[in-house]
Structure 1
Amino acid sequence: MQAYNFKQAQAKLSELCQLLLDSVAQGASIGFLPPLNPADATSYWQAIISDLQAEQRVLLVALDADQIVGSVQLDLPSKANASHRAEVQKLLVHSQFQRRGIAQQLMHELEAVVQSHGRWLLVLDTRQGDKAEWLYRKLGYHEAGVIPNFARSADGEIHATIMFYRELAH
């Protein structure tokens, strides 16, 4: 696991796009619907790279032989009343590397990064019924509530999302 700065992310833009394209093609509920246009994937990652440069976001990547196989992001709100919390976003693991504990490793590393930024409350959401829901529960996240009819899937069905939080030692 490695935290990437904006220069590292820019250098690996193609790999980050491939990870996003693979995740969307596999049905991940991360704000995009398949088929994702590669230009849209590039635009998305360029916006994330800008956030990295502004130090408003942290990007952690999982590597296999220097190839990006997973990532997770941490949004760091800049508002004065939010300096204790952060939002977990877009936990992705390439389909060829799933079921190897990579997502869990990324989340554990993310928790260490959160604390290094002086924050101790993590929030996130995931589509109800996804395998990520099970992972977050396993990692000690608590359900805050369910929002019905939150996100559309590729088949047109609309799904609920579950909001989770976790308080770390502080």
Structure 2
Amino acid sequence: HLIIEDDDPVKPFTINQYLNHILNLTQIFHLEIHEIISLNKLSQILLLLPDLQTLHLDSISFLNLEDISDEEFVHFIALIKKNQIKKLFLEKRIGIDAFELLFTIFPHLNYLQINCRDYQYTQFLLKYLLKHQNNKLIRLFCFSIPFADDKMMNKLKNLIIQNSTSNFTIQRVSDHIYVNIIENN
């Protein structure tokens, strides 16, 4: 379990140097990044951590995508697909284009947890995930919604019924609503 925070403005080591040092001592399966990170920097870190199973991001910046050449982007995606990340936790909301990219980068995802902040975003996101999700491996979604209640859960249940042919379970634990899509055989 490794947590990366940007506490010290004067850094004696780069993150890459730090990770290389740690990897001489142990393996890392869970990574938390408590700062805004660029897609480019995230890819550098992930390439150093091929055994990583879980990734927790505070915020990810996709602003540098225009600066990446097509060749670099294809190379970047090919390298990132080697990762084994199965669980992704997002603290801040991101746009649909960002989700598409994340599903490409993390093809092994089977759990996605998002801190939604409001019900409307949750509803929009769940509908999108059910209709347009390219990665069929993701079966468990967790939406963290302040003040989540049974009424919200029932609305989400109806939304799933309207937008999916799969069986599912839905449950609320405190302010977390879990949606488990059950594969039809």
Query: Normalising TM by the smaller chain, what interval?
Result: 0.3 to 0.5
What is the TM-score with the length of structure 1 in the denominator? Answer: 0.34
TM-score normalised by length of structure 2: 0.32
Higher Cα radius of gyration: 2
The structure that is strand-richer by fraction is: 1
